[in-house]
């Protein structure tokens, strides 16, 4: 896998799947623009990327749920590199709630982060991706393929990500741009705890995931990053509009 000279923008690169993906693309020689809100965490990931052999990544700090921030993240990336080859929309949040207790405020927060931000960045990046015949990889979830109880807004947002991916894939195929998504199963990151799950419940959840995944364990961030890199690479040159389950 070789991304030498390729410009790759990764949102939500300051932890979990996004951080592992950044380090992987660094090993493959990519020029990286890394987004997140937490500058300290992002700097640590950038150091790991440099240690892996990449040129120092550009940090494009910002909250992608905010329109002005996303616009700035995009402009900074373009100003730095002058082109884009791969857009990886990974930033996401998980919040619990059903139709009986998910407020509109909570719904908007999840949708703006998990779906609207992807729409906006894709819209901004499309003209540049057409020039480079680049591609998009969106990080969805198994919740984008089927519904799970208790995470209503998250389910809706991720199903939207899969649909957006397929639509964009169809619309841009003739212009040489591919769009795919990965749909991870339970992956060991901070996502669930940041969503309010306490440590004891999280450990029980991981234990339970041994039964809900045929391979008998949750996934690792590196395993998801491998799938992202594959879809972004020329090895997947005849693959577009795919929802690739990485769910054991």
* 63 near ligand NDP, judged by CB under 6 A: yes
Q: How far is the CB of 131 from ligand NDP (least distance, A)?
A: 26
Find the part of the chain contacting ligand NDP (CB under 6 A) among 10-18, 77-85, 129-137, 231-239.
Answer: 10-18
Residues in the chain: 248
Residues 131 and 134: their CA atoms lie apart, in Å, by 8
Q: Ramachandran region of residue 24, left (φ > 0), alpha (ψ -120 to 50) or beta?
A: alpha
* 120 near ligand NDP, judged by CB under 6 A: no
81 is annotated as an active-site residue: no
Q: Which of 3, 10, 12, 244 binds ligand NDP (CB under 6 A)?
A: 12
CA 48-52-53 angle, to 5 degrees, is 125
Pick from 135, 138, 139: which is nearest to 173 by CA?
A: 135
Q: Which of 3, 54, 59, 65 binds ligand NDP (CB under 6 A)?
A: 65
* 147 near ligand NDP, judged by CB under 6 A: no
* 248 near ligand NDP, judged by CB under 6 A: no
* 212 near ligand NDP, judged by CB under 6 A: no
| Residue closer to ligand NDP, measured from CB, 31 or 142 | 142
Catalytic residue among 107, 119, 154, 202: 154
Residues 71 and 88: their CA atoms lie apart, in Å, by 16
DSSP string, 84-124: -SEEEE-------B-TTT--HHHHHHHHIIIIIHHHHHHHH
Q: Which of 194, 204, 208, 210 binds ligand NDP (CB under 6 A)?
A: 194
Q: How far is the CB of 142 from ligand NDP (least distance, A)?
A: 6
Find the part of the chain contacting ligand NDP (CB under 6 A) among 34-42, 167-175, 196-204, 234-242.
Answer: 34-42
Pick from 122, 138, 118: which is nearest to 64 by CA?
A: 118
H/E stretch holding 172: helix 152-172
Question: In the chain, count of helices (H) and strands (E)?
Answer: 9, 7
Q: Write out the catalytic residue numbers.
A: 154
Binding positions for ligand NDP, rule: CB under 6 A:
11-18, 35-38, 41, 63-65, 90-94, 113, 139, 141, 184, 186-187, 189-191, 194
């Amino acid at each position: 896998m070789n991304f030498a000279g390729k410009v790759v923008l990764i949102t939500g690169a300051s932890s979990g799947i996004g951080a592992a993906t950044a380090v992987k693309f660094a090993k493959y020689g990519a020029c990286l623009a890394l987004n997140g809100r937490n500058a300290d965490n992002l700097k640590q990931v950038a150091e790991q990327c440099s240690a892996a052999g990449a040129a120092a990544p550009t940090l494009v700090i910002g909250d992608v749920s905010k329109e002005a921030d996303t616009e700035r993240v995009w402009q900074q990336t373009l100003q730095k590199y002058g082109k884009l080859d791969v857009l990886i929309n990974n930033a996401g949040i998980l919040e619990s709630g059903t139709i009986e207790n998910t407020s509109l405020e909570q719904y908007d927060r999840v949708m703006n982060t998990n779906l609207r931000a992807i729409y906006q960045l894709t819209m901004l990046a499309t003209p540049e991706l057409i020039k480079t015949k680049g591609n998009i990889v969106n990080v969805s979830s198994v919740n984008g393929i089927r519904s799970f109880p208790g995470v209503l807004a998250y389910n809706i947002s991720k199903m939207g990500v899969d649909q957006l991916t397929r639509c964009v894939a169809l619309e841009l195929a003739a212009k040489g741009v591919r769009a795919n998504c990965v749909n991870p199963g339970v992956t060991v990151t901070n996502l669930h705890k940041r969503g309010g799950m306490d440590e004891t419940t999280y450990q029980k959840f991981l234990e339970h995931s041994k039964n809900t995944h045929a391979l008998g364990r949750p996934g690792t961030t590196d395993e998801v990053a491998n799938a992202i890199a594959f879809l972004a690479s020329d090895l997947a040159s005849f693959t577009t509009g795919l929802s690739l389950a990485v769910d054991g």
